[in-house]
Structure formats: structure tokens, C-alpha cells
Amino acid sequence: MLRLRWFCQTKLGTFAAALFLSAFCGAGCHKPASSAKPLTTSGPLKPCKLPGIDEELLCGKLTVFENRVTRAGRTIDLNVVVVPALDPDRTEEPLFDLAGGPGVAATGGAGFYAKEGKEYRLHRDVVLVDQRGTGNSNPLTAAPRTRSPQDYLTEMYSVEYVKTMRQSLEQRADLTQYTTSIAMDDLDDVRAWLGYERINFFGLSYGTRAVLVYMRQHPDRVRSAILMGVAPTYLKMPLHHARAARRAMDLLLEECAGDPACHQAFPGIQHDWQEALERLAREPARVEYSPPDKSAAVTVEIQRDIFAEKLRSRMYSRESAARIPFIIHQAAQGDFAPFLKEVIPRSGPDFIADGMYLSVTCAEDVPFIDQDEAAKANAGNPFGNYRVVQQTRACSMWPQGKIPDGYHDPVSSDIPVLIFSGQLDPVTPPERGEEVASHLPNSKHVIIPHGGHGIDGLTNVECLDRMMLEFLSKGNAKDLDTNCVERVLPPPFVTNGGK
């Protein structure tokens, strides 16, 4: 039942001041009362229908100042969707689901809770809030662009793209006001607006950072939290991306070597990996690509760093990771068609708000990276220093927001927290979960043996649902039975191009 929400540090929270509720919603506001106060259509939310969902949900917008300190000037309408509890009495505190990215819209998860994830709302509301800068909360997205096949194989943040995006977005946004800390104070305003006294959290990847920041800024409002693929505030993304990716790739190729079918198909997979990289280091590959829409074939260029980065992003999901040995084996022989088939057709419309991604990471992470340290740490790594270089250059062209004093300190709390890490996570490996858990005495850290960045592509994940539902019900992680995690398995490796 569980679904994956990408962290999207592939390219794929913490906050600031109090809101005077009466300034924005007047008599229509709910005041905090019981921890599981029922929502009614006479309050701030109204019945609504969302595309692809038959069920009627509740929707509304809470207006906040873009600059929460001055409380003047431009405002933002925060987009809020509540998937209501199936039990009309709503006996349990709500679950707030925070999206990853940074830059993904949380309300995109409504369909999961309206369909596959109904168990999560038997007795509680599920609340989805598009964080400022995402979804329908003044999204910091670039203008739509038509992409050629080669566009999917170019650098992450070109100078022209970043400059044009900044120029466009600054017409309607102060790009320094979209940090995690500010957004988490927005979120507390939403909690109060809806009338909840205490809330539960689920966060994946960047969503875990947002949860941790909210826990630090509003500790009395949190009943419990589930974190999956932990990205702590001190991570300095993307400093450790290459290191985490190298570890994940080594483990993935070891799994292939230990799998009879994969080993038989690719007996020298580690050598293939080195050969593919060395081939592209000597000279970029020029490959004819035939689009699936039957339009004319075009010649594209594949550079080494971009090849490695694209494979790194494919490791987030075990479903796409299962195809990596085949892609590597073919590339080592000069056949990049499987790589292009994996990368280009699957690159649909952007679901990351790039401007919001930069506003967060250019304030909270990149300025604190020692460039010499990064170059040294990533020297000799198959994934190199590509992401650090790309994002450092982008941030040199992007306004830098402010973060609170002590922002990078580990978050310490007695709040019950259930933490999941994937053993093969290419961006937030289990060591991050261990670090965060060491400051949370009422936490439990569960390592999913075959997990990536989340659980996409794994089988028998129902046990993880049961674990989370039991945790949410008890509000305590200490006595959870986690043995079933050993039965969560990856998909079979793809050993030919027909799959």
C-alpha cells in the first residue's frame, strides 16, 4: 500500500514568526480545542473534487504574508487539501504528510489516501499542504519549455536557465522568503486554522527535514512522526551525494553478482561499470536516438558525468535500479540505447519547483560547503563532484535567504519517532537515520534491507504499513515488531532489453 514520494535531491523543513489568525480568516477560523476536532464544511474548508478522485474532499486556502517578519506587502495563498477521516467522529489526531524535493507539491498525494491508503484515515484526517513555492501555493516554477531529446542529457542547471528563471520569478516572489523554517511556521498556522491541537507527521527525504524543523519550532504540537530517508538539517546537500551513491551502486552490483540470473547475464558487472565510465571519459558518446512518438531520429551526445548522475537518480527506486546492470553492461560495449530508453521517455513534465529547490538549498546547504573539502572528498568517486559544482554555480546566481541561528544543530526531542532507512539508498543512507535517532530517545530506526530511497518497487511492503499504522495508533515506537522487514524483497534484475 505504501507509495514512494521522491526526495528529489536528484534534482530529486524550520521557521519564523507567529500569525495573528484574525488578520486572515476572521470569524471563520477554528480555535484549537480537542486534539481530534472534527472538520465541518461550515469552517475554513469547502467540499471539492480533484482530478482522478471520485470521493469528495475538503479544500481551502489560508493567506499568509510572504515576509512573515515584516507582516506587510505580498501575500501567499497556501493550498490545503484534507482527505477526511472515514470515521465521522474522527477519534485520532490528524496525519500531516510533507512532500519531498524540496519542491514537490504535497497535495499530489491526495489520490493515494483516497484510494490505496484508506487505512491511514480510518479514524483520522490526512492533511496535505502545498508548501510555499510548490503546487498551488505561489509555485516557484520556470515557464514551461519544449524539450528535445538532448535537453534531457544536458547539465542540471545551465547558466541561462537559472538566470532566466530568477528574472521571471522575481516578478512575483521574494526568493529569500521560501526557506524551510519559514514554511514550517506557515504549517503551524494551517494547523491552528483547521482547529487541531496536536498532529502526527509523515515525511520522506526533504519532507523529513521539514518535520524535524517543525518539531524543533513547535514541539508541543507534535504527537508523533514517521521519517523515511532522513535528510537532517546539517546535511549540506549535495556534499555527500557522490559518497552515498557510490555505496549504493557497490551494494547494487554486489546484489547482482550474488543473484544467479544477474551474475550469469553479467559476470563482470563491476568491470563493466568501470569500462562504461572510462569509455565516456575518453570521449562523449554520440548516439542515434529514435523517439517513441515515431518522429525523426536525432543524434544525441552523452557525457560521462551526466551518464553517472542519471544512473544515480535511477537508484532511488528499486524498480528502476533493477535495470541498471543491464544498462551498464550494454554501455560498456558501446550500446547506449537501453540508457536512453530509460532516461528520455521517463522524463515527463517537471514535478519539482526548481525555484523553490534553489531557494531552500541555496540558503540552507550550499553556502556551507567547503569547496576544497568537497573536491577532495569526491575525487576518484565514480559520481565525482558534479552535483556540488552544478549547485554551487546555480546558487552563485540565486538570492540567499537567511536561516535561524543553530539551524544546522541536530534536532533533539522526546517526541516518539519511527525512522526508516533503505540499505541501498543513494542519497540518505542508513547512517543518516542512525545520526538522527541518536538525538531522539523515543525513536526506533528500522533499516529496510533491500530498500532504496523509499520503498518503490519492493514487494511485501504491507508489513511496513502495519508497522506505521500500529505506531500511529500507539504513539510509541519502542515495542514495535519489526521482524517482517526481512521479508520485504526487491524486484528481479532485468537481464535483457525485452523487459
Identify the burial level of 405 via C-beta atoms within 10 angstroms of its C-beta, where 0-12 means exposed, 13-18 middle and 19 or more buried: exposed
C-alpha 344/C-alpha 151 separation (Å) is: 9
C-alpha 140/C-alpha 100 separation (Å) is: 15
Residues 285-329: pLDDT tens digits?
999 998 887 788 999 999 999 999 999 999 999 999 999 999 999
For 232-254, what is the mean pLDDT?
Answer: 97
Those residues whose C-beta lies under 8 Å from the C-beta of residue 26, and which sit 6 or more positions away, are none
Task: Look at residue 34 and tell me whether its pLDDT is greater than 60.
Answer: no
Residue 239 has φ and ψ, to the nearest 5°, of -55, -40
The dihedral through the CA atoms of 363, 369, 375, 379 has a sign that is: negative
SS3 136: coil
Position 124 scores a pLDDT of: 96
Q: What is the DSSP letter of 31?
A: P
Task: Look at residue 18 and tell me whether its pLDDT is greater than 80.
Answer: no
Which of 17-21, 73-77, 342-346, 479-483 is most confident?
73-77
Those residues whose C-beta lies under 8 Å from the C-beta of residue 487, and which sit 6 or more positions away, are 460, 463
Residues 114-156: pLDDT tens digits?
999 999 999 999 999 999 999 999 999 988 877 889 999 999 9
In percent, the amount of the chain with pLDDT more than 70 equals 90
CATH homologous superfamily of 22-238+406-487 equals: Alpha/Beta hydrolase fold, catalytic domain (3.40.50.1820)
Position 486 scores a pLDDT of: 94
Residue 78 has φ and ψ, to the nearest 5°, of -75, 125
Band of residue 478 on the pLDDT scale cut at 50, 70, 90: confident
Position 144 scores a pLDDT of: 81
Region label for 140, one of left (φ > 0), alpha (ψ between -120 and 50) or beta (otherwise): beta
Position 459 scores a pLDDT of: 93
SS3 212: helix
Residues 64-79: pLDDT tens digits?
999 999 999 999 999 9
C-alpha 417/C-alpha 80 separation (Å) is: 25
Those residues whose C-beta lies under 8 Å from the C-beta of residue 157, and which sit 6 or more positions away, are 354, 358, 390, 391, 393, 394
The predicted model scores a pTM of 0.91
More confident site: 374 or 10: 374
Band of residue 439 on the pLDDT scale cut at 50, 70, 90: very high
Round the average pLDDT of the chain to a whole number and report it. 90
Contact call for residues 304 and 280 (beta carbons, < 8 A) = yes
Those residues whose C-beta lies under 8 Å from the C-beta of residue 419, and which sit 6 or more positions away, are 226, 227, 228, 230, 433, 436, 437, 440, 443, 444, 445, 446
Position 446 scores a pLDDT of: 97
Quote the cell numbers at residue 460.
511485501
Task: Look at residue 269 and tell me whether its pLDDT is greater than 60.
Answer: yes
Position 348 scores a pLDDT of: 52
Spell out where 173-323 has E strands: 199-205, 222-230, 285-289, 298-302
Domains of the chain by residue range: 22-238+406-487, 247-343
Task: Look at residue 9 and tell me whether its pLDDT is greater than 60.
Answer: no
